[in-house]
Structure 1
Amino acid sequence: MAADLEDVRAWVGTLADLGGGLGDAERVDLIRALEELKGAAAAAQARVSCDFDVSQREAQRAAGVPERRVGQGVAAQVALARRDSPHRGDQHLGTAKALVREMPHTLGLLTRGVLSERRATLLVRETAYLAREHRAVIDAELAGPGAVEAVAELSDRALVAAAQRIAYRLDPHAVTDRARRAASQRSVTLRPAPDTMSYLTGLLPVAQGVACYAVLTRAADTARAAGDPRTRGQVMADTLVAALGAQANPAPDADADAGAASDPAPAPAPTSPTSDPAGPAGSISLQLVMTDRTLLRGDDEPAHLVGYGTVPAGWARDLLRSTGAEVFLRRIYTSPGSGRLLAADAKARRFTGALREVLIARDQRCRTPWCDAPVRHLDHARPWESGGTTSTVNGQGQCEKCNYAKQAPGWTADGTAPPGDRHSVHTTTPTGHRYRSRAPAPPGTPAPTPRPSRAELHLSDIVLAS
């Protein structure tokens, strides 16, 4: 096994030297061959992931883990190994188990590079709700020996349609029930987009989605016909915002005067997500983190908009000037060396505690590597029952899934404040693999200098707990 692992790692290095001195026809052939290699690698990952799942479950049962918790944390380890989010880890492991245990023909085509990982995943997704025997029929009809040439020529959409046609033929009631259940998955999500924009996405039943789009389209057509200078897309976006009454009232947090040069340099902290919004009842608060230099002196140090990410300094100041809403300030102090958040104003509006605010401001997103989900839980890196302290060093923000995953047997974590660096959490999985997560740098983080003394760190935790 060790030889196999070293062979794979050697291939990675070999690929860096491919392609030199080839003609264009050979380059096209090489592109195809590499695509087939990617499929074969994905198939190997699926087989290894499935074996890993079996082994981990056996180990957990042997350790006396209750059956309802057996398997907890396995997908999270797969995600870390693949440098992916826990949500994607669940998908990777679920797909691997379906391919290895229930869809041998699809796995075979993936191994040969006839199917890409994406298309194999589509087949798993489109058969997940069917009985095992019906999934086997679709696997054989679309990926069996007599279908290799045909399936290789299908686009993603055509492959999904073919699977759906066979599924409806085999079990029309299951297809209908699936469509009815899908309505329960309706949701609205928000994702950052470039240039201080965002994607607001609604997953709706098709009739409602088409109806909503028709209303926005009609509003745009009417406005444009009346001479509105805005583009069609601008009118649709503005109509949506107006219909929701979502003209937000920003309530940014920003620095006040830093004081003496020997004091920690202040940096702002966002308010807690559970804090009451500023302004009238029903209004929305936006939370900005920026330095006093950005707010008051016109510096170009970027700010941080909670729920979005980094925004230009000028854009942040324009937002404050243009809204007309109340602005509430809250100060946080950072280490002059590493930018580590140390303390916060004790005075605030209905906050549950300064320590909570500092952790949210420091971590911004889930601290598990490659997760990037919103913070839902504030947790001890080293558990309280194992001697962990309630402090900035031992605290971390996590999403719900990651917090539950690390409660499985064999997971450990420790928070540290390395010299001249930001706060770090080192997580060790049951297999002994170790992963580091560093807190993002807050606005105005200075160049690294020596680590604060133990007395400074202890004092900051006392202030935060007060």
Structure 2
Amino acid sequence: MDAIREKIEQVGGVRALRARLDAEELSLLAEISADAGDGRGVVEELAPVLRVSTREVERRVDDSRSVVRRMPQLHAAMRTGEVESYGARRVLAVVDPLDDDTARQVDGLLAEKLTDAPETAWQPGNLAQRVRRLVEKTDPDGQTERARQARAERKLELAPGEHAVSSLEVSLPAEQAGACYSRVDAMARSLRHGGDRRTLDQLRADVAADLLLGRDPGVSPPEAAAMVYLHVPVDAALSLSDDGCELDGYGPVPAPIAREIMTNERSIWRAVLCDPGTGEPVDLGRTRRRPSAVIRELVRVRDRECVMPWCHRPARHCDHDHEHPWTTNSGDSDGGGSTSVANGGSRCRRHHRLKDHPGWSTRYDPVHGVTRVTTPHGATYTAHRDPVLTPTRHTPKRTAPKRTEPAREDPARTAPTRQAPGRQVSARRQLARAEPDRETTDPGTAGPEHHDDDSPPF
């Protein structure tokens, strides 16, 4: 028992060390944010350094500003190892709607309450509960406005999970969320009492999916109908292999699941023709007459994600970007300036705007799938795109971005073009048929450089 007790105390020491390191990170982020001024640029530069998403970096930067400026006592508690970043974030979620003076008042009262409090008071849930009471006491008249603000921020989020499962989270006003759950639960329990052998958790999930998809709830288990691209090698489709299947916007899925989606009559299909030598898509089955739409869709299929190395927003939610600015009379044989697959790339709205931001150099070679990004402070990251299917010859995969010293030239741009094997030449001929006449292409319908301000920024 003494050995176990000693290890428990060591775990406590690790937790206190983590809290102090969290406090140090918040201090540094607050200083960087104050010095840099441009929030978007510094967030993008911090993302590969912290090895988290840009959204998480934004949260940490916002937390750093709030803790350092508005909650100094909470920050001091972090420095002494009492509370980690998760507990601090729970506190900030409660005080965020408050003005700075009220937040500092709550911060001081919380410090007084915790002076002689037991260790359990520092647990995040208990800490947040104490702060709620202090906020209600300090600013009772603001409760209604805070509730209205929170209810106005209702949203729906899709979070990809593991093992071919994702989560759909809806933030709603409390009474609506409670009513929705009660209805789904009642329908699930009715089916269960009627002899359905699915568990209540399965039934609730299936009933909710049926209601959202407009089907008769609970009649049958939900089918795996697909409204996105499913990449399935021919041998996997024929059950000769179980490798290489991917669901657009999610990632690898087991081949049996892919075949279930593929054979579902409700799934929407497009033929994707790939060059067997490179594994890259070169053409799509035609269901539209305008070739510009085909090009944009083929670029989305090929890239699958935003081309920035640390961004994984699905390409279907990205802008179609011209790597070389669009021109009506481009003489570049590689497609420079034209509306073509060879000159197109998928960039989310956030990184589309960042492309021309002062100090940033973002280059994407669509043909070779190489992205090279140089930040305003000199760090350079290079990554390679994965082919849609596994190629028959070796091709570099999209790797984690590698940080290097700034370079004057982009090797992907200056390297000589290698003549492809005969099979690939045939594929390029197929691609040429999908390419519109450069002299007659309408930039307004072929993925122009301008941005639609009504689209959500990312």
- The TM-score bracket by the shorter chain reads 0.7 to 0.9
Give the counterpart of 1:435 among 375, 381, 403. Answer: 381
Question: Are positions 1:52 and 2:17 aligned together?
Answer: no
Task: Classify 1:336/1:385 alpha carbon distance in 2 versus 1 (closer, same or farther; 3 Å).
Answer: closer
2:350 aligned residue: 401
Contact 1:393 1:423 in 2 (8 A): no
Question: Are positions 1:99 and 2:67 aligned together?
Answer: yes
Question: Are positions 1:150 and 2:117 aligned together?
Answer: yes
SS at match of 1:437: strand
Structure 1 unmatched runs, 5+: 1-21, 58-69, 253-284
Q: Deviations over 1:297-329 (max 9, x none)?
A: 6321232222332222222222333x3347644
1:299 aligned residue: 241
Contact 1:362 1:439 in 2 (8 A): no
Contact 2:160 2:166 in 1 (8 A): yes
Give the counterpart of 1:336 among 277, 290, 301. Answer: 277
Contact 2:274 2:282 in 1 (8 A): yes
Task: Classify 1:389/1:36 alpha carbon distance in 2 versus 1 (closer, same or farther; 3 Å).
Answer: farther
Contact 1:142 1:151 in 2 (8 A): no
- Structure 1 counterpart of 2:99, which letter? A
Once residues 452 and 359 of structure 1 are traced to their aligned partners in structure 2, the CA distance between those partners, rounded to angstroms, is 23
Task: Classify 1:147/1:327 alpha carbon distance in 2 versus 1 (closer, same or farther; 3 Å).
Answer: closer
Q: Decide which moves more: 326-335 or 430-439.
A: 326-335
1:41 aligned residue: 21
Once residues 116 and 354 of structure 2 are traced to their aligned partners in structure 1, the CA distance between those partners, rounded to angstroms, is 42
Once residues 44 and 326 of structure 1 are traced to their aligned partners in structure 2, the CA distance between those partners, rounded to angstroms, is 51
Task: Classify 1:368/1:330 alpha carbon distance in 2 versus 1 (closer, same or farther; 3 Å).
Answer: same
Once residues 315 and 46 of structure 1 are traced to their aligned partners in structure 2, the CA distance between those partners, rounded to angstroms, is 43
Contact 2:27 2:68 in 1 (8 A): yes
Q: Decide which moves more: 238-247 or 131-140.
A: 238-247
Question: Are positions 1:378 and 2:378 aligned together?
Answer: no
Task: Classify 1:156/1:84 alpha carbon distance in 2 versus 1 (closer, same or farther; 3 Å).
Answer: same
Question: Are positions 1:349 and 2:317 aligned together?
Answer: no
Once residues 406 and 143 of structure 1 are traced to their aligned partners in structure 2, the CA distance between those partners, rounded to angstroms, is 45
- Structure 1 counterpart of 2:288, which letter? R
2:362 aligned residue: 413
- Structure 2 counterpart of 1:294, which letter? A
Contact 2:225 2:261 in 1 (8 A): no
Contact 2:343 2:366 in 1 (8 A): no
Task: Classify 1:300/1:462 alpha carbon distance in 2 versus 1 (closer, same or farther; 3 Å).
Answer: same
Question: Are positions 1:308 and 2:250 aligned together?
Answer: yes
Task: Give 1:131 shift.
Answer: 1.3
Contact 2:73 2:107 in 1 (8 A): yes
Task: Give 1:292 shift.
Answer: 2.0
- Structure 2 counterpart of 1:363, which letter? D
1:164 aligned residue: 132
Task: Give 1:358 shift.
Answer: 2.9
2:218 aligned residue: none
Summarize the alignment of residues 436-451 of structure 1 with structure 2, pairs less than 5 Å apart: 436-448=382-394
Once residues 324 and 318 of structure 2 are traced to their aligned partners in structure 1, the CA distance between those partners, rounded to angstroms, is 14
SS at match of 2:159: strand
Task: Classify 1:385/1:302 alpha carbon distance in 2 versus 1 (closer, same or farther; 3 Å).
Answer: closer
1:219 aligned residue: 187
Task: Classify 1:46/1:350 alpha carbon distance in 2 versus 1 (closer, same or farther; 3 Å).
Answer: farther
SS at match of 2:363: strand
Summarize the alignment of residues 175-190 of structure 1 with structure 2, pairs less than 5 Å apart: 175-190=143-158
SS at match of 1:353: helix
Contact 1:39 1:115 in 2 (8 A): yes
Task: Classify 1:72/1:331 alpha carbon distance in 2 versus 1 (closer, same or farther; 3 Å).
Answer: closer
Q: Deviations over 1:165-224 (max 9, x none)?
A: 111112123222111122222222222333322222221111011111111111122222
Residue-pair matches, total? 394
Once residues 191 and 366 of structure 2 are traced to their aligned partners in structure 1, the CA distance between those partners, rounded to angstroms, is 57
Once residues 88 and 152 of structure 1 are traced to their aligned partners in structure 2, the CA distance between those partners, rounded to angstroms, is 29
Report percent identity of matched pairs: 24
Q: Deviations over 1:397-430 (max 9, x none)?
A: 2332333344432111122479xxx622111111
Q: Deviations over 1:72-112 (max 9, x none)?
A: 32222222321111111111111111122222111111122
Give the counterpart of 1:425 among 367, 371, 375. Answer: 371
Task: Classify 1:329/1:129 alpha carbon distance in 2 versus 1 (closer, same or farther; 3 Å).
Answer: closer
Once residues 19 and 353 of structure 2 are traced to their aligned partners in structure 1, the CA distance between those partners, rounded to angstroms, is 32
Once residues 253 and 146 of structure 2 are traced to their aligned partners in structure 1, the CA distance between those partners, rounded to angstroms, is 41
Question: Are positions 1:72 and 2:19 aligned together?
Answer: no
1:368 aligned residue: 308
Q: Decide which moves more: 201-210 or 243-252.
A: 243-252
Task: Give 1:133 shift.
Answer: 0.9
Once residues 405 and 370 of structure 1 are traced to their aligned partners in structure 2, the CA distance between those partners, rounded to angstroms, is 14
1:272 aligned residue: none
Q: Decide which moves more: 441-450 or 205-214.
A: 441-450
Once residues 419 and 41 of structure 2 are traced to their aligned partners in structure 1, the CA distance between those partners, rounded to angstroms, is 37
Contact 2:309 2:371 in 1 (8 A): no
SS at match of 1:153: helix
Task: Classify 1:171/1:23 alpha carbon distance in 2 versus 1 (closer, same or farther; 3 Å).
Answer: same
Task: Classify 1:203/1:29 alpha carbon distance in 2 versus 1 (closer, same or farther; 3 Å).
Answer: same
Once residues 288 and 434 of structure 2 are traced to their aligned partners in structure 1, the CA distance between those partners, rounded to angstroms, is 16
Once residues 384 and 364 of structure 1 are traced to their aligned partners in structure 2, the CA distance between those partners, rounded to angstroms, is 22
- Structure 2 counterpart of 1:331, which letter? V
Contact 1:382 1:415 in 2 (8 A): yes
Task: Classify 1:29/1:445 alpha carbon distance in 2 versus 1 (closer, same or farther; 3 Å).
Answer: farther
Contact 2:313 2:348 in 1 (8 A): yes
Once residues 165 and 140 of structure 1 are traced to their aligned partners in structure 2, the CA distance between those partners, rounded to angstroms, is 14
Structure 2 unmatched runs, 5+: 216-221, 397-414, 437-458
- Structure 1 counterpart of 2:271, which letter? R
TM-score w.r.t. structure 2 length?
Answer: 0.75
Please give the root-mean-square deviation of Cα atoms over the aligned residues, in Å. Answer: 3.4
Task: Classify 1:95/1:383 alpha carbon distance in 2 versus 1 (closer, same or farther; 3 Å).
Answer: farther
Question: Are positions 1:124 and 2:92 aligned together?
Answer: yes
Give the counterpart of 1:324 among 248, 265, 270. Answer: 265
